[in-house]
Every structure is written in structure tokens, then in C-alpha cells.
Chains A and B, each alone.
Chain A
Amino acid sequence: MADERQAPDQSFQEQVLRYEYVLKALSDIGEELCRVTSFEAQLKSLLHLLLGTLGVSKGGIFLFDTMTSELSLRCSWKLSSRKAGTSLSRGEIEALEKIADPITFAAADFPFLKDLISQFAADDLNSISILKVREKLIGLLVVGQKLKRAPFSDKETSFLTTLSRNISVAINNFLLLSELRETNKRLDEKIQEVSILYQATQMIASELQLKTLLDMAMNATSEISEVTRGSIWLYDEESEKFALSSHLGDSANLPEHLPLADSKLGHHLLEHKEPLIKTTGGTSEIPVNELDSTIFGTSFIIVPIVHQGEFLGLMHLSEKITQGEFTERDQRLIKVFAVQLGAAVKNAKLYEQAITDGMTHLYLHRYFKQRLSDEFKRAVRFKRNLALIMIDIDHFKKLNDTYGHQSGDEVLKRVASIMRKAVRTHDLPVRYGGEEFALVLPETDMTGALAVAERIRRSIEFEIIEHNGKTIRITASFGVAVHPDSAIETEALIKAADVALYHSKESGRNRVTPAAVLPTTDNPPPPATPAD
């Protein structure tokens, strides 16, 4: 009697132990979800948990990718094949998703995907479970035999079903979390992109000086795309040439001008007005000739600078800091930036037209007055030098009478060109009126200003102008005044330079005269005799 009672008790105790063991596995699955680890490691843990709970020596987890409809073996233990997969048809997906209960089948009775399962014939699979959360297919779980091929009891099949459901939820949660992380990452990247673009466009939006604007744009794009080489070329419709207007990095291979006729790429860009991206290895259909390759390199992004359909030029970037290829992101950012740049360039060009003389391309008198006044204030505030050179072409009226107005215009253009070449970025060459020019030199003292004036004087003296078969030689006279030595206010500075110029004329022309130094306590007034 006692023996009969003991047998069920022992069996009951064993069952309790077994349930306890399964419960522990379920809690382990929960714990596994909280571990910060890779998805692959989690899958492997889940598979081992399941195999150990059932007492099975081999198995694998297949995952279903909703985007590609591919079902592939993502994790396996002791299976004969570590790689397997198949593409599911719409019908197969629906059938697998529809099955409510049972979700666990004896391997031999599994009604789906015979071809895929047959690849594991050597593994003598015992059961197959469909992994799903509600109606969503997650994948498939295959398990091998217990030791000595002992059959699964009903309880064990039920454990397998319960564990499969838990594993499905775990995998689904992990995938959702990964998706969320991915979305967050993309969002962060977008925010960063917008912020970079905002800063870059803010910087160029209010800049009206074309040269400064383009240099700023070049620097901004180098930061956006992390490149070490680049150039901006403005297109001149009249001459059908691109002019190198700003560059980044080595400019040894860059000509000053690129005629449209010589550049296949330029033609293509002018015609299509669409960005071009070229990678080193990529077979692209971008038309590039030898000159284009020399200038732009083998891997680049080129974006047209366009404003309301008008082609203004192009921006080119090459050589990433990371040595990598250009990406879609680079292209997208540069494209957006180029739209802003198009508007800014157009603005700057219009502004330049409004403040420069059409013939000589030097600044107009009105703009000169305003800038001189600004520069003067700055020089006073920061106690810096400011030099003004006044220039007048000698015997210009006679030259006009002798050779005609056209020749006179040519002379003015040549002098303007000499002046432009002689100045630094922040200097201001001006057509003051008629045959008179001015040059404003910030941060320059008398010695420096006299040197500049002398250099220009000599260049003009040695310039040979051939016009309509005639050879014309000219000279010019110069007057140089400097703040604070010659004057302490704007009008007085102009006056001082004018007086010095007058002295040059009076003393035989083709010369440079410095303005008189203002009397100070250290420097008593000069004797009342005129300077020579």
C-alpha cells in the first residue's frame, strides 16, 4: 500500500521539478531581453534556452523578413547546414500567418516548405514550430531529437509551443526596438544635416561681396561633405567660359578659365542642370574628357549653381577626408546648399552690377564714398592706418583727341586691369570719374601705400597698348594720403590725396607724391613753402 502511494508522489515531485525548470527558462527568456547585447547573441541564447529546456541536442531559428519575403536560417546549433533560406510566396505567407493552433508540428507532418525542410534530412528533425506574434509571421523554429531519440511527451510538445510563443514575442520586441533605434539614428542624422545646412546658408545669405561669398560657400561645403579639394566656377554667358572663382586645396591643376567648348562636363551640366556624382570604380555615364578629369579628378560631386533657371556656374568637390566615396547624403546636402548658393550668388552679382562701373568693372564713386566712410570709422575706432591713393591719367584729353574715344576707353580698361591686379582682397579699386581713379587700402601706412602706388605707376608706364593698329603709351600721376598722418576725417583725407595728386601734376606728371603730414606736438608745421 505504502509503495503504491509513493510512486505517484515521486512522479508528482518530478513533474513539479520539470515545471519549475520550464518556468526558470521562461524567466530566463525575459532576462535575456533586458541584456544589452547583439541580436545574433540574443537569438543564440534563446535557441540554447529552448534546446536545454526540451533536452534536445540540435536546432535552429529561421527569421522572416517582411521587406524581402525571405525566410532564412539566422541561428543554429549542431545542424548539418548553417545556411538555408527561401523566398516565400504571398500564399505561403498567408497560410503560415493564418494558422492559429497548433503552431507546433512533428517535422514529418509539417505541411509547408517541403523543399526547405528537406535540406535538413540528415539532422533527423523532431518538431517544427511557427514563430509568430498575433497574425505576424516572425519565423520558424526547428528542433532535433532528444537523447537516444526518446519521443516528446505531450507535455514537452506543449512546452515547445509555450516557449515558441515566448521566443516569438522576444524576437518581435527586439526587432521593434532595433527599428526604433534605427529610426532615432536616422532622425538624429537628419537633425544634424538640417543644422549644418542652416548654419551654412545663414553664413552666405547676407554676404553681398561675390568673392567673399564664394570663399565662404567653399569652406561651408568642405565642412558639410568633409572634402579637401573643391572649386567654384562662375559661368560667363557672353564669353562662354567658366571662371575659377574660389577653390579649396591644391590649385596647381586649375586654369583661370575653362572654355565651355573644352569641357564635355560643362556642356552636360549647362544642358541638364542636375548634380553629378562620380565614384572611382563606378561605371558612370557622365561625359568627361581629359581636361575635365585633370580639373575635377576621378571621384567627385559637381552641382550646378542655378537661380530661377539661370545657370550661374558650378561647384565641384573631390577628395573626402575619410578617403571614402561620395554618398547620397553628400549629394543631397550639397544640392540643397547649392539652391541657397544660387540665390546668394545672383544677389551678389546684382549688387556688384549696381556698385561697379560697367566698362572698367571698378567700383563706382557712390559706393567708394560709403566704403571709405566705413573704413575710416573702423580705422579711427581701432587706431589703424588707412591709405587712399588718387590716380589721374596724364594728358587723357589729348589722347582722346588724337586717337579717338574708343582708344580712350581701351586705356581706361587697361589702367583698371592693372589696378585690379595690384590690390589685395580687402582693397577697393574705384573709378572716381572720367580718367580719375582711386584706391582705398585699409591697414596700410604711408610707406606701404607709396610702394603700391609706385608699382602701379611703373606698370602703367611700361604698358604697351595696341589699338586699331596704333601703339599707345601712357603715364599717370598719383597722390597718396594716409589716416591719421595726413588727415583725421574722410573728406580731409580725399582732399589731402587730391592736393598731393595736384603736386604730382604740377611737378611734371608720371610720379607719386605723398600728402603733407599733419602738424602735431611732436611734429611742428612745415615752413609755408609749397612741396615740390
Chain B
Amino acid sequence: MAEEFSLVHQVDGPVLIIRTKGYLNDLGAEQVDTICSENLGKGIKKIVINLEQSPLINSIGISILIGVIEAIEEAGGALAFTNLTPTNRKTFEMMGLLQFAQAFDAEADAVKTYQTS
């Protein structure tokens, strides 16, 4: 049963928080890329992506996240993924995503880290 992808986002001080819901293999996931680009353009360079509600991520999702990483790298910002399932964590590691982004267990930890740094 494919659950349609959706997301909510909020800006908390210098940090953009994105919470996704549904499989990150839908083309709707391109929204993640759009929202990140928009905020990077506004000078918000610290981004936290909470993937708690997206336990299934396939290569479509990865390709979009790679795009986000590249854009943040270019802008000199920082990216954190939170609430990763063990499988997703392994995939992210294997694909080299975690060389450019930090993984946190909880969203609050990531936000706190970025707000104080």
C-alpha cells in the first residue's frame, strides 16, 4: 500500500526543520529539494531532516538527498538526518551520505546542536 509522500517544514532560528511522511521513493520527494534550495537562498544553511515517518527509502529518495547534500556543501552549510531506521542508516553509510551529513537519534538533539554551534 503506497502511502503518498508529504512533508511539513519550519524554520527555528537559524535551522530549517523538515519532517517527511511516507515513502521517500515518490517523486513528491522532490519537494525536499525545493524547500532546501529556497531556504539556502534565504541564508538558512543548517538543515535537519527528520525521517521518522519515512521508514522506507529507496534509490529515488537517495538521489534526492544527494542533491540536497551537494547544494548544502556548495553553500557551506550543515545537514543532519534524524530518526533513521537501522536499515536506512546502513544504506546512507554505504552510499556515503553520512560522510557529509550527521546522523542524530532525535530531532531535538540535532536542532540543539545547530542552534548553539
Binding site for B on A (CB under 8 A): 14, 17-18, 21, 24-25, 28, 41, 44-45, 48-53, 55-58, 77-78, 146-148, 150
Question: When the two chains form their complex, are residues A147 and B96 in contact, meaning their CB atoms are under 8 A apart?
Answer: yes
Question: When the two chains form their complex, are residues B67 and A77 in contact, meaning their CB atoms are under 8 A apart?
Answer: yes
B14 to chain A, nearest CB (A): 24
Question: When the two chains form their complex, are residues B90 and A28 in contact, meaning their CB atoms are under 8 A apart?
Answer: no
Given A17-B94, A147-B99, check contact A52 B62 (CB 8 Å).
Answer: yes
Question: When the two chains form their complex, are residues A21 and B64 in contact, meaning their CB atoms are under 8 A apart?
Answer: no
* Other-chain residue from A17, A18, A48 in contact with B64 (beta carbon distance below 8 A): A48
Question: When the two chains form their complex, are residues B96 and A21 in contact, meaning their CB atoms are under 8 A apart?
Answer: no
Given A24-B58, A52-B58, A52-B60, check contact A147 B27 (CB 8 Å).
Answer: no
B66 within 8 A of A: yes
Give 4 new A-B contacts, CB below 8 A, not counting A24-B58, A51-B63, A146-B96.
Answer: A25-B59, A45-B27, A49-B63, A52-B59
Which residues of B from 30 to 78 have beta carbons under 8 Å from A?
58-64, 66-67, 69-70, 73
B20 within 8 A of A: no
Question: When the two chains form their complex, are residues A55 and B95 in contact, meaning their CB atoms are under 8 A apart?
Answer: yes
Residues in B with CB closer than 8 Å to A57 are 63, 66-67, 69-70
A14 to chain B, nearest CB (A): 6
Residues in A with CB closer than 8 Å to B25 are 28
Tally of contacts, chain A with chain B, CB under 8 A: 74
Binding site secondary structure of chain A: helix
Question: When the two chains form their complex, are residues B59 and A48 in contact, meaning their CB atoms are under 8 A apart?
Answer: yes
B64 to chain A, nearest CB (A): 7
B91 within 8 A of A: yes
Residues in B with CB closer than 8 Å to A58 are 67
Residues in B with CB closer than 8 Å to A49 are 58-60, 63
**Complex-state Cα separation, A78 to B59, whole angstroms:** 16
Q: How many residues of B contact A (CB 8 A)?
A: 22
* Other-chain residue from A48, A56, A148 in contact with B60 (beta carbon distance below 8 A): A48
Q: Which residue of A lies closest to B68 (CB)?
A: A57
**Complex-state Cα separation, A416 to B63, whole angstroms:** 89
Question: When the two chains form their complex, are residues A56 and B94 in contact, meaning their CB atoms are under 8 A apart?
Answer: no
**Complex-state Cα separation, A277 to B25, whole angstroms:** 51
**Complex-state Cα separation, A55 to B25, whole angstroms:** 15
B89 to chain A, nearest CB (A): 12
Question: When the two chains form their complex, are residues B91 and A21 in contact, meaning their CB atoms are under 8 A apart?
Answer: yes
**Complex-state Cα separation, A474 to B64, whole angstroms:** 99
* Other-chain residue from B64, B66, B90, B99 in contact with A56 (beta carbon distance below 8 A): B66
* Other-chain residue from A24, A45, A147 in contact with B70 (beta carbon distance below 8 A): A147
Residues in B with CB closer than 8 Å to A56 are 63, 66
Question: When the two chains form their complex, are residues A28 and B59 in contact, meaning their CB atoms are under 8 A apart?
Answer: yes
B24 to chain A, nearest CB (A): 10
Question: When the two chains form their complex, are residues B64 and A147 in contact, meaning their CB atoms are under 8 A apart?
Answer: no
Top-3 shortest CB links A-B: A52-B59, A52-B63, A52-B62
Question: When the two chains form their complex, are residues A21 and B94 in contact, meaning their CB atoms are under 8 A apart?
Answer: yes
Residues in A with CB closer than 8 Å to B70 are 57, 78, 147
Residues in A with CB closer than 8 Å to B91 are 17, 21
* Other-chain residue from B59, B64, B96 in contact with A150 (beta carbon distance below 8 A): B96
Residues in B with CB closer than 8 Å to A28 are 25, 58-60
Q: Which residue of A lies closest to B57 (CB)?
A: A52
B26 to chain A, nearest CB (A): 9
13 A/B residue pairs, CB under 8 Å, sorted by A: A14-B94, A17-B94, A24-B58, A25-B59, A45-B27, A50-B63, A51-B59, A52-B63, A55-B96, A57-B63, A77-B67, A147-B69, A147-B99
**Complex-state Cα separation, A77 to B68, whole angstroms:** 12
Question: When the two chains form their complex, are residues A55 and B62 in contact, meaning their CB atoms are under 8 A apart?
Answer: yes
A436 to chain B, nearest CB (A): 87
Residues in B with CB closer than 8 Å to A55 are 62, 66, 95-96
**Complex-state Cα separation, A14 to B95, whole angstroms:** 11
Question: When the two chains form their complex, are residues B59 and A147 in contact, meaning their CB atoms are under 8 A apart?
Answer: no
**Complex-state Cα separation, A14 to B90, whole angstroms:** 9
Question: When the two chains form their complex, are residues A77 and B59 in contact, meaning their CB atoms are under 8 A apart?
Answer: no
Which residues of B from 78 to 117 have beta carbons under 8 Å from A?
90-91, 94-97, 99-100
B35 to chain A, nearest CB (A): 16
Question: When the two chains form their complex, are residues B90 and A17 in contact, meaning their CB atoms are under 8 A apart?
Answer: yes
* Other-chain residue from B61, B66, B94, B97 in contact with A18 (beta carbon distance below 8 A): B94
Residues in A with CB closer than 8 Å to B95 are 21, 52, 55
**Complex-state Cα separation, A50 to B90, whole angstroms:** 19
* Other-chain residue from A17, A21, A41, A48 in contact with B63 (beta carbon distance below 8 A): A48
**Complex-state Cα separation, A146 to B97, whole angstroms:** 11
A210 to chain B, nearest CB (A): 63
B65 to chain A, nearest CB (A): 8
**Complex-state Cα separation, A52 to B57, whole angstroms:** 10
B27 to chain A, nearest CB (A): 6
B52 to chain A, nearest CB (A): 21
**Complex-state Cα separation, A77 to B97, whole angstroms:** 18
**Complex-state Cα separation, A287 to B5, whole angstroms:** 61
**Complex-state Cα separation, A58 to B69, whole angstroms:** 12
